[in-house]
Amino acid sequence: MHHNCPICNESFERETGFYYGAMYVSYGLTVAFGVAMFLLICGILNYSAITFLTVFAILQVALMPIFYRLARLIWINLFVRYKEVK
């Protein structure tokens, strides 16, 4: 993560423990991703649960950095209001 926003120079370094709530956002993203994958793989494509677990585990590990950053961005946007930069 950047220490400051490259556009508005907002500091991303908050007080200690600020991003603990991002863990809950990350958990929600992971659950939503898992349910969507389950419906796609088991519901629509009719593959087995073992196939789902294998594909989900591989994709989850690969997408972990993206979920990490996305969860932090969602969490900070809940508390910081940005002005439009022109």
Q: In whole numbers, what is the pLDDT of the chain averaged over residues?
A: 88
* Phi then psi dihedrals of residue 28, to 5 deg: -65, -40
Reply yes or no on whether the pLDDT at 71 is more than 90: yes
Averaged pLDDT, 56-61:
96
Tokens of 77: 């946007």
With a CB cutoff of 8 Å and minimum separation 6, the contacts of 76 are 12, 14, 19
Q: What percent of the chain has pLDDT over 90?
A: 58
Reply yes or no on whether the pLDDT at 61 is more than 70: yes
